[in-house]
């Protein structure tokens, strides 16, 4: 793929590892473009059912955007850099396959924004998360203020963004920013266990669920309910639905092929 990313495939799960350990996996323009291409490829590959995203090394998921690269940007270039990252993260958020952030260390600034664009977040108990842009005279530029607001509400969003102070993984769990916290030594095993569970599920049903949550989160309840009913009905046209219901009636484990 690229020397900035390492990928591994196993059992329908694609592991994407950001590989800039000397920079704590900081996001620069090249990494953003590589991630955009990697997730486009994962979306198009029928063998990939789930994506796990993490960072190289024991210290960081992603410690933030690359400050050295940002320092020299003009206002127009700064806006373009923000849009570049936001488009990539929106691709992840709207991917028709589940994406799990395996938060193995620091997830700060752009790193937390990247994790929040994933559908699920599993964090090591040693991880630290935060939006420290205020300390640089900046605000979050890749959607941090907006996704935090939707995940954990106004008060917590203002606390994290106004103070810039990082929080421990357990505090992030209490706020609803991460889904699970596990011992650091067990992080990869636990994350891959969840990934394999999702990879064995019906791909079209997973896609329908992701679509329903994405659409329903941004519209009125009545519209969301109508959309869910339409997606529910559409799944009755799939072989996976027939396989799932048949397996239930026959008391066996279903085998879904994504059709």
Report CA-CA distances (Å) from 123 to 101, 113, 187.
8, 14, 7
DSSP string, 49-78: -EEEEEESTTTEEE--B-HHHHTT--HHHH
Name the region of 52 (left: φ>0; alpha: ψ -120 to 50; beta: rest).
beta
Q: Is 170 a known active-site residue? A: no
Decide if 84 contacts 66 (C-beta within 8 A): no
Euclidean distance between CA atoms 193 and 259, whole angstroms: 24
Tell me which of 113, 159, 170, 186 is the catalytic residue. Answer: 113
Q: Is 133 a known active-site residue? A: yes
Euclidean distance between CA atoms 48 and 15, whole angstroms: 10
Residue 63 has a CB neighbour count (10 Å cut-off) of: 24
**Lookup: tokens for 190:** 């636990």
3-state secondary structure of 102: strand
Tell me which of 8, 69, 93, 133 is the catalytic residue. Answer: 133
Euclidean distance between CA atoms 122 and 96, whole angstroms: 20
**Lookup: tokens for 204:** 């079209």
Decide if 173 contacts 115 (C-beta within 8 A): no
Catalytic sites, residue numbers:
113, 133
């Amino acid at each position: 793929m690229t020397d900035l990313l390492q990928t591994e495939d196993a059992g329908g799960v694609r592991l994407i590892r950001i590989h800039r350990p000397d920079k704590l996996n900081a996001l620069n323009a090249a990494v953003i473009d590589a991630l955009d291409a990697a997730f486009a490829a994962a979306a198009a590959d029928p063998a990939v059912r789930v994506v796990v995203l993490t960072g190289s090394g024991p210290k960081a998921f992603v410690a933030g955007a690359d400050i050295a690269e940002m320092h020299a940007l003009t206002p127009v270039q700064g806006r373009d850099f923000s849009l570049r990252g936001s488009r990539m993260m929106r691709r992840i958020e709207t991917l028709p396959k589940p994406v799990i952030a395996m938060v193995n260390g620091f997830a700060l600034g752009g790193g937390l924004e990247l994790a929040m664009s994933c559908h699920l977040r599993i964090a090591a108990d040693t991880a630290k998360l935060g939006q420290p842009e205020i300390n640089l005279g900046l605000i979050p530029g890749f959607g941090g203020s907006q996704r935090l607001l939707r995940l954990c509400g106004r008060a917590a969003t203002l606390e994290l963004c106004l103070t810039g102070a990082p929080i421990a993984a357990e505090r992030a769990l209490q706020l609803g920013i991460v889904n699970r916290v596990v011992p650091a030594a067990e992080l990869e095993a636990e994350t891959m266990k969840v990934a394999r569970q999702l990879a064995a599920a019906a791909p079209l049903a997973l896609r329908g669920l992701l679509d329903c949550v994405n659409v329903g989160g941004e519209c009125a309840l009545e519209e969301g309910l109508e959309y869910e009913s339409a997606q529910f009905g559409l799944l009755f046209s799939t072989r996976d639905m027939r396989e799932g219901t048949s397996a239930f009636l026959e008391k066996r484990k279903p085998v879904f092929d994504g059709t």
